[in-house]
Structure formats: C-alpha cells, structure tokens
Chain A
Amino acid sequence: MIQLVWDGLFVGSFYALVALGYSMVYGIIKLLNFAHGDIYMLGAFAGFVVLSGVGGVTAAFSVVALVGALVAAMAVTGGLGVLVERVAYRPLRGSPRLAVLITAVGVSFTLEYGVAAAGANPRVFPVRVESQAWQVLGVRITLAQLALMAIAVGLMIALDRYVNRTSTGRAMRAIALDPKGALLMGVNVNAVISRTFFIGSALAGAAGVMAGAYYGKIEFLMGFLIGLKAFTAAVMGGIGNIRGAMLGGLLLGLLEAFGAHFLGGEWRDVFTFAVLIVFLSVKPTGLLGERVSERV
C-alpha cells in the first residue's frame, strides 16, 4: 500500500514538472499548448544527442555528464519554446482563442514527425541512473528515484519563488490578471511571455532528460500521452495556478497508481477520468483554481 503511494508520487512528480509549463502558459495567455508534451520529448532527445556526443562516459563522470546534459537540454527546449511562441502563437494574439489551438497541434505534428523522420525507432539513453535500493517501511526506494525527485522538487520551489518573489514573476502575475492594465503600467508584455515560455519549456525539457535517464527508452511519441496527462493534472489543480499544477500532478500519479492496482491497468484511465469528472462537477475550478470567466 505504501509502495503504491510512493510509485504514484514518483510518476506524479514527472507529471507535475510538465504540468507546470502547461499551467504557466495557460495562466498568462489562456492557451492550451498542445505542443508542450513534444517539448518534453525534444528535451529527452536533446539530452540523448549531448550524451552521445560526449561518448563513452565512465561511471564516475556519468553524474556530471547527466547534469550537463540536463542543463543543455533545458537551454535547448527553453529556446525552442520561445521560438515556437514567436512563430506560431504570437502572430495570433487577438485572434479567436481556438485558432492558436490549431497552430499548437500543427507545431506538435511538426515536432513529432520531424524527429520521427530522423528514425522512428526508439533510442536507448546512453547514460542510465541505476543504484541500490533500500527498504523503508516496506517500500523499495532507490537513490536514483530520490535524486530525481529532489531535482524535481528543487526546480518547482525555484519556480515558485521566482513567480512570487521577483519582479518578472510579478509581471507574469500582472499579465495573467489584467493584460491591458499590465501593458499600461509599463510591463513589457512580449518579453514576459517569452520568458514564461522559456521557463515552462525548460522544465518540460528537464523532465524529458530525467525520464530518459531513468527509464532508458525515448521515442518520438513519448510526449503525447504525458502531455495529455499534464493537461489533466493542470486542470485538476486549477489551471493557471502553479502550486495547483504541482498538486494536480502528484494527485494524478496517485490516482493512477491506485486505479491500476484495484481495477487493473486496462481500466486505470477510465477510473482517473471518472474521478476527474466527478471532482470537477463538485468543484468546477479545480483544487486551487479561482473562478475564471472567458469565452471560446
């Protein structure tokens, strides 16, 4: 039972990292960024390329190499996120909200099949984190799991501080609250939006590298399902709310673990979505969300 909780929290921390980007982007420009899962995928591939380039890394240096790859992948995906926003989303600001949804799906196709064109076979990550396991209260916990969760939590805390304590963070919140007002008060809206995309995409990229290093396999469609789940997690937590996204990710991980255990893997997603629907009918704004009113 406790093992289930641990399993759920571990998967949930991945969902949370990806959900953060979803939620940040939504909070600030009300866009469901369907290409976000593919940024996660590209993060994994960027890490793969960096690590393959380094060549045979010895075990002693693998941690250093991994951290290097993590940082490099975050830079690449962050930059890519900014580029995508600039090319496919910014020209459509002021257009119907759903128009951007279409370009997001278009970007998603382009990224997925751009990578697939280089070879659709799954790749094996050159460096893998393996470590011994401990039994704590009957739960198997590995050092690798702890390390990855620590990185995830660290990134989330850093983001939370950034949004709540810095002037850029304040500007982000201001735009989310009242874009026109923010503009009039001298906030450089475009710059702040670019920065939001950079941070959200970098977090997804980090999650991608971590997934590659832990699970060992990466492929061009790996972002699709997790993107869908991150969206679910973000909504569960109250979309647009950063702490909500973290909470939603963990909650989704737990729900899945329990669903798979008690109903079997084939009914897991039915269980998860059913809980989500019931939950939203009771509390229509998610865990921490505030009531938003906008139209399609």
Chain B
Amino acid sequence: MQRSTLLLAGTALLTSLLTACSGGLLGSEKAAEGPIRIGMAVPLSGSSAPIGPNMKNGAQLAVDEINAQGGLLGRELELDVEDEACDATSAVAAANKLVSAGAVISVGGYCSSATLPTLPVFDKADIPMIIPAANSEQLVQQKLRSVFLINPTGAQQSEAAIQFIRKRQARTVAVLDDNTSYSTDIAKRTTELAKQAGITVTNTSVTPGESDYGSTVTKVLSGNPDFVYWTGYFQEGGLLVDQFRRAGYAKDFMVADGSVDPSLASIAGGADGVFATMTQTPDTIEGAGDWIAKYRKAFNAEPGPYSTQSYDAVRVAAEAIKKAQTTDGKKVVEALEQLKDFPIFSGPLTFNDRHTLSQGGFQILVVKGGKFVLQDSLR
C-alpha cells in the first residue's frame, strides 16, 4: 500500500489544515446564543457516585423553577451535568467539556481534591464558580476572584461542633474521620479546638468503603470517650453508629453534615439520639415541606445531602446574572460580590472578602424517630 496511500492521507490532512475548520487553532471562536448554559461537574461514578444525583436533581429543580417563570434575560436556562468521578483527571476533563460546550457559570464541585484542579480551567475561561458542596479552605487559598463557596467551611463547622461538645460537658472526645480532605479538615480543626479547650481528645481515621470497623471501635472505646464525633459521610456513619452501639457504647455520638441523611438511621438500624452539626435543611425550616414535596414529585426520590446547596447554587447564579444583566464572567463575579442577604436554605447569604459565607449558620440536630430534627440552634 502503503506508501502511496499514506502519502495521500498525509496530503489530505495537510489540506484540511490549510483550509482550517472553524473549531481549529487557526479558526475563530463561535458566538454563543440560545439558552444560558449552567455547567455542573458532580460525581456520577466511583465511590462518591450516590451523591451526584442529589446534586443534579437539586440544581435541576431550581433551573425548572426559573424557566417556569420565564427564564433569565429573556433566555432559558439549561443545566449541563458532567461526571467528575471524584478524580482529578476526570474532573478536569469534565470542566473542559463544560467550557467547550459554552457554559457561562459553574455550579458543581463536590470532592475538594478533584475540584481544585478545575478552578484554573474555569477561571481562564472567565467562568464564575459557585461551589455547592466542596468546602476545603484550600479552594479559596489561591485567591481566584471567580471562586465562591456556598457551603460553610470546615472551620465554621468545627467551631459549632466544639461549642456543642462543651455544652455537653464532655471530658474525653474521640474524633473519627475518613481520610478525605473534607473530613480530615473538620476532624483536625475540631481536635485542635478541643485541645485548646482543655479536653482530652484523640483523632483516628477509617478507610471508607469497608464494612467492618470493629477494630477501630475497640481502639476508640479503650480510651473511654464520653463523646464521639464522626466527620465523614453517612454510609460509614451508619455502620459506625451501629458498631459503636453493639460494642456497648451508650454516650454521645455526633456526626457532621455529610452524614445528615435519612439513610444514616436505616443503615444503622436506628440512630435515635445521634446528634449532628448541620446548616438549616428543609426538614428544620418551618414551611419548607413544600420544597421537599416538589422535589419528590419531580424526581421520585428524596432529597439527599447537598440537594439544597445545589438548588441554592443555581439560584445564586441566576440572581447574579440577573443583577449583572449579562452572562459576562467578570460582571457576574462583581454582582456575586455585591449580593447582600440573599435568602438561601442555610440563612441569608452575603459573601465575605474570601468569597465564603460570612456566617456559617450551623446548628445541632438530633435523630428522632429516624429523622433529623432541631436540637439546639447554638444562638
């Protein structure tokens, strides 16, 4: 063949280079019209896969509501969801795909370590990011002006946790994390704060995805704690509640917001009396039952962790675009910075100069009859 065919192919390729399709390096940018595209990268595969649909549905609900009211700037909203798999490579591919598809704002981001490398991708394309779930301090350390966190940070959550721990007059506290950045962040800060408060405290990690935490439970109980704080997610949280109880532990057990899910109680086979540090949720807000009913009706599923935050992220995005009267990234960022007391589930939203929530709004919930209800508003 082969030489001639290949030469032919080569010539063909070169010709196509010279004529240069519009999408190529030598081509021009295509203009974006039509619907306003909102990008969202969430985990849909891998071990965090269960979270993705919660976030996607929450965001979709807000998009549908806004579209039902006539859209934004006379255009419809459209939600573009991509899989980030909680893995840096996938997340960057997803972010680039969203940029290429013409997204003007991003409302995704769940795993902090996978979200971090996507920040420069969106930032370079002038796309503001309203991150609904990922809340590691490192996200705002790079001081990118286009990054906003609407989930309270680990610092705020650990302060709420220690406040409650002191209220319960615990003397020996065991903090357990799952060795992911979200979880260790809260755990390390809580441990530090507890030490400062003169409380005896230990911190240990478990490997997420396993079933048996018996040896960890034994180890923790050998220190005779009167307060256990789990800062990971509900899957392991449910197992831990169960295994601590089976091992005879009957004192205080508290979980962080990643574990606030009805499944916690069902996995544990009952979790009544378990406390949680959590921002406001539809369950704890008067009159938010409508929202839950709407969500159920739309997706035939219960809202899960980060459904509300994703819903709010879209609303915040829409509000900023409306204020800016354009989808231009820089103007939208300015509008976001100027938002004042915009009502979202966790309370009135105003961004501080670090682009995180100026108040965390954490409160303490307790499981009663399998449901999380308000225990202490910490005010």
- A residues contacting B by CB (< 8 A) are 3-4, 7-8, 10-11, 14, 113, 116, 120-122, 124, 128, 130, 133, 140, 142, 211, 215-217, 219-222, 224-226, 256-258, 260-261, 264-266, 268-269
Contact = CB atoms under 8 A, between A and B. Distances in A.
Contacts of B235: 122, 217, 219
A215 B239 CA distance: 7
Nearest to B302: A121
Contacts of A3: 218
A216 B269 CA distance: 8
B219 interface: yes
Contacts of B214: 7, 10-11, 257
24 contacts: A4-B215, A11-B214, A120-B52, A120-B53, A121-B50, A121-B304, A122-B50, A124-B266, A124-B267, A133-B248, A215-B211, A215-B212, A215-B242, A216-B238, A216-B268, A217-B235, A219-B235, A220-B49, A257-B214, A258-B215, A260-B215, A260-B219, A265-B216, A266-B204
B236 to A, nearest CB: 9
Given A3-B218, A222-B209, A217 B267 contact: yes
Contact of A225 (B50, B53, B210): B210
Contacts of B204: 264-266
Query: Could you say which of B215, B266, B268 has the most chain A C-beta atoms within 10 Å of its C-beta?
Result: B215
A226 B209 CA distance: 9
A261 B206 contact: no
B83 to A, nearest CB: 11
Given A10-B214, A225-B210, A142 B205 contact: no
B218 A4 contact: yes
B359 interface: no
B239 A113 contact: no
Contact of A113 (B45, B53, B246): B45
Contacts of B207: 225, 265, 268-269
Contacts of A260: 215-216, 219
A51 to B, nearest CB: 15
B240 to A, nearest CB: 11
B47 interface: yes
B20 interface: no
Interface in B262-287: 263, 266-269
Given A11-B212, A122-B263, A140 B248 contact: yes
B50 A7 contact: no
B293 interface: no
Nearest to A221: B47
B9 interface: no
Nearest to B46: A221
Contacts of B200: none
B49 to A, nearest CB: 4
Interface residues of B, number: 35
A142 B242 CA distance: 14
Nearest to A214: B211
Contact of B211 (A113, A211, A261, A266): A211
B206 A217 contact: no
A7 B211 CA distance: 13
A120 B215 contact: no
A28 B296 CA distance: 52
Nearest to A217: B267
A125 B320 CA distance: 45
Nearest to A3: B218
Nearest to B52: A120
A264 B210 CA distance: 16
B209 A261 contact: no
A149 to B, nearest CB: 13
Contact of A261 (B49, B205, B219, B248): B219
Nearest to B301: A121
Contacts of B238: 216-217
B247 interface: yes
A227 B218 CA distance: 25
Given A142-B246, A260-B215, A221 B209 contact: yes
B179 interface: yes
B211 A264 contact: no
Contacts of A257: 214-215, 218
A7 B246 contact: no
A269 to B, nearest CB: 7
Nearest to B248: A140
A197 B202 CA distance: 46
Contact of B215 (A7, A14, A216, A269): A7
Interface in B295-332: 304
Given A222-B211, A256-B215, A260-B215, A266 B47 contact: no
> 10 closest Cβ contacts across the A-B interface?
A266-B205, A257-B215, A120-B49, A7-B214, A215-B211, A265-B205, A260-B215, A124-B266, A121-B50, A217-B267
Contacts of B206: 265
Contacts of B246: 130, 133, 140, 142
Contacts of B247: 140
A3 B218 CA distance: 7
A46 B254 CA distance: 33
A264 B220 CA distance: 10
Contacts of B268: 216
Query: Could you say which of A10, A121, A268 has the most chain B C-beta atoms within 10 Å of its C-beta?
Result: A121
B269 to A, nearest CB: 6
